[in-house]
Amino acid sequence: MRRATAIATGVSLLVVGGLVALAAPAVSAAVAQVTSIAAAVAAPSPTGITASDSQDADTGAGPAGLGDDYVDVGNGVSIPRNDPEGCDAPRWLHFGRMSASLNGDLTDRGPRELAAGPVAVDDDGVVRAYTVEPGDSLYAIGDRFCIANPLAIADLNHTRVIQPGDVLLLHPDESLPWIPFFSPPDAPGGYQQIPYQRAVEAMRVAAHADDLDAMRVIFRDDLAGLFPVADDADVIARALDDGDLRALRQMFA
């Protein structure tokens, strides 16, 4: 039988990539138990970094054994078709070893309570980012864009809480690398995460400010030596050497 996971509707949410409990300012947090359910499927990318496959949500027959009420969102993950409610083709954020992807383009269902901020689209009209307004919540943002694992938005954006004015990446470019937030790839048991996370958060702030000089200093002094695999740190070093802000903004969204 094909590997698939049924996810119950209600308060539980599954997030690939970590345990997160978040709330926007002035909004009470709903604490969710999140469970890793699938390993990323590696595929070559133009950058030489492995990226997880991204598949369009199946809008036909449901996955084998689950019926038409479930939809395949890629990487062996299946979820209820109507989650969030009214979303026939829900989207799912996947995280690989040094990559992030989404299983198709996002649909903006329009402003709503706790998710009324402006949206950024690319030249092709594809939704890429969202700007947080006071009182916004990740659950409401996920509902607006049919993202079924909304807490993963915070992980994607290297933050524990969202703040008004934050520009949240919603649809990563899977041709570009992405730096994990909680710990670097291949971190050994007992790895001290706090220094790594603080350095990544500092890189995020500098990336949003387009401050290459600050990023180079933070990387040299605080982050480079925290990667167990030197080649992973070299991916960031090359982008810094090239002044590639497009790649750096996604690495540290």
pLDDT tens digit sequence for 79-117: 988 889 999 889 999 999 999 999 999 999 999 999 999
Report yes or no: 58 and 72 within 8 Å, Cβ to Cβ: yes
pLDDT tens digit sequence for 216-247: 999 999 999 999 999 999 999 999 999 999 99
Residues 245, 164, 158, 150: what is their CA dihedral angle, to the nearest 10 degrees? -120
Best CA proximity match to 101, nearest among 161, 169, 37, 167:
169
Distance between CA 196 and CA 176 in Å, rounded? Answer: 21
Best CA proximity match to 98, nearest among 238, 229, 246:
229
pTM: 0.74
Question: CB-based contacts of 232: which residues, under 8 Å, 6+ apart?
Answer: 98, 184, 185, 186
